[in-house]
Amino acid sequence: MKEIEDVTAYYLKNSSDLDHLSVHASSKIESAKLLQNEVQKNYDIIMLHVHPDETIPSIVFSQKSITTPVCLVNHADHTFWLGTSIADLVLQIRESNILLDSKRRGIPVERQVFLPIPIENLLTENNDATKKNDQILQLLSTGTPYKYNPNSSYNFLKEAYRIVEENPNVIFNVVGIDQESDYGKEYRHERLVLHGIIPAQALAEIEKNTAIYVEGFPMASFTALLQAALQNIPFALHYNPLPLFKLFSDRIDDGIVYPDNLEEWHQNVKNLIRDQQYRNNIGKRQHQYILNNFSIKVWKSRVKEIYLLTEKVNHSFHPPSKDTYYDGDNEKLLAALDNRTLPHFSFTQKLSLGGKYFVYQMSKHKNPYALYLNPTKVFKYFIFKK
């Protein structure tokens, strides 16, 4: 409880009128009972900001006696998350997730609201692209080192090297990759400057002189992109992104376009470098879009809209759609982000024989790569209790 209070005090100047409650108990069943008793009170709205694998809310809010509207913040949208059946509104931090979750999770578009993480620009918006020196153009890309690790489809430093080779007036700053790393040594160039990990103040100084921000790949860094965009820096999005790394939906009128392939990406970057009018026009439209969607002011107005929406909503259970198995590049990369080995049936080890059989029948056809029919494992699962 103290940890929650400390976090609240850190982020809110005045939290004296807030009540902090805990449903922590000796078991999940006891925690569910405590939460059930709490939500029966006269709340206007219930907001779930929980771990994606948290089961207690799905247990509690599946009951018909609860009428208070439930909103779920999909903050871990890059993983599989629980809660589709008990969320009256899903608050998406990425607009691109709305159509994706409508298709893959069966959540109607009208039950989803775009509520991005707001970015507060602590720097003065003095990055006027029209005042940049055309003789020397500074490009910037920022991200943690592992996000740039090359694979068979993407090699960021290789393409950055090509950019500085083709454009003698360009200095390309990459923050996150160390020049002494094996990857950095492979693409040494006097105008491809690898800064490694640097303090925020040093990054701010680089941003002041940046004419174009280039989104890194294969793994994008959303916060870094938005912070640069709020400073009126035109940006180039990476090409053919997996859904996992796509922050925006394509919006041509706002200058928000993901190139379909590498050559389209290079052509876009080249246009930004060599055509000042194009750069200024794209930057202006992108900046306005970011201000209209990701600023603190807009975020607060959207929260008010959510309250108005929920005034007309009574909580109800939404039956989940039929499961569909996906095994594309997006899913393979997701699996690689968390390489822990988890025994599939371990979470239901204490169920009765009938309960275990139900879990087995529900699971055995879900994933063709999982060995659900291994005789030894199935025998142990049904016979032994842990």
DSSP 223-237: HHHHHHHHTT--EEP
Q: Which of 120-129, 265-274, 303-312, 318-327 has the lowest mean pLDDT?
A: 120-129
Q: Do 71 and 141 share a domain, yes or no? A: no
Closest CA to 229 of 147, 129, 94, 93: 129
Q: Do 108 and 244 share a domain, yes or no? A: no
Is residue 138 helix, strand or coil? strand
- Residue 161 lies inside a defined structural domain of this protein: yes
pLDDT in tens, 245-267: 898 989 999 999 999 999 999 99
User: How high is the pLDDT of residue 7?
Assistant: 73
131 pLDDT more than 50: no
User: Mean per-residue pLDDT for 77-89?
Assistant: 90
- DSSP 8-state symbol, 264: H
- Residue 245 lies inside a defined structural domain of this protein: yes
123 pLDDT more than 70: no
- DSSP 8-state symbol, 174: E
pLDDT in tens, 198-209: 998 999 999 999
Q: Which two structure tokens, joined as six digits, stand for 274?
A: 């060599």
What's the mean pLDDT when you consider all of the chain?
87
CA distance linking residue 245 with residue 218, whole number of Å:
8
* 170 membership: H or E segment, kind and range: strand 170-175
- Residue 269 lies inside a defined structural domain of this protein: yes
Q: Do 270 and 159 share a domain, yes or no? A: yes
130 pLDDT more than 50: no
Higher per-residue confidence, 380 vs 239: 239
- Residue 22 lies inside a defined structural domain of this protein: no
Which residues have CB under 8 Å from 24's CB, separation 6+? 31
Whether the CA torsion 16, 18, 24, 30 is positive or negative: it is positive
Which residues have CB under 8 Å from 110's CB, separation 6+? none
How many whole angstroms from its chain centre is CA 84?
17
With helix as H, strand as E and coil as C, how does 28-93 read?
A: HHHHHHHHHHHHCCCCCCEEECCCCCCCHHHHHCCCCCCCCCEEEEECCCCCCCCCCCCCCEEEEC
CATH number of the domain that 176 lies in?
A: 3.40.50.2000
Q: Do 113 and 144 share a domain, yes or no? A: no
- Residue 317 lies inside a defined structural domain of this protein: no
CA distance linking residue 105 with residue 83, whole number of Å:
10
- Residue 333 lies inside a defined structural domain of this protein: no
Q: Do 155 and 288 share a domain, yes or no? A: yes
Above pLDDT 90, what percent of the chain? Answer: 59
CA distance linking residue 370 with residue 278, whole number of Å:
51
Q: Do 152 and 204 share a domain, yes or no? A: yes
Higher per-residue confidence, 377 vs 329: 329
Q: Which of 2-11, 145-154, 287-296 has the lowest mean pLDDT?
A: 2-11
Quote the number of domains for the chain: 3
The amino acid sitting at 373 is L
Phi first, then psi: what are they for 175, rounded to 5°?
-100, 120
Closest CA to 207 of 190, 189, 229: 229
Range of the domain at 370: 343-383
What is the number of other CB atoms lying within 10 angstroms of the CB of residue 161?
18
CA distance linking residue 245 with residue 187, whole number of Å:
25
pTM passes above 0.95 = no
Q: Do 140 and 61 share a domain, yes or no? A: no
Give the CA distances from residue 338 to residues 149, 333, 342, in Å, rounded to whole numbers and listed in that order: 16, 9, 11
Indicate the pLDDT class of residue 18, thresholds 50, 70 and 90: confident
Q: Do 134 and 224 share a domain, yes or no? A: yes
Domain boundary among 285, 310, 335: 310
Q: Do 266 and 220 share a domain, yes or no? A: yes
Q: Do 104 and 141 share a domain, yes or no? A: no
Is residue 133 helix, strand or coil? coil
Indicate the pLDDT class of residue 215, thresholds 50, 70 and 90: very high
Q: Do 262 and 135 share a domain, yes or no? A: yes
Indicate the pLDDT class of residue 374, thresholds 50, 70 and 90: low
User: How high is the pLDDT of residue 13?
Assistant: 72
pLDDT in tens, 103-116: 989 999 999 999 99
Q: Do 179 and 216 share a domain, yes or no? A: yes
- Residue 173 lies inside a defined structural domain of this protein: yes
Give the CA distances from residue 266 to residues 182, 261, 272, 273, 274, in Å, rounded to whole numbers and listed in that order: 25, 9, 10, 10, 12
- Residue 27 lies inside a defined structural domain of this protein: no
Higher per-residue confidence, 81 vs 386: 81
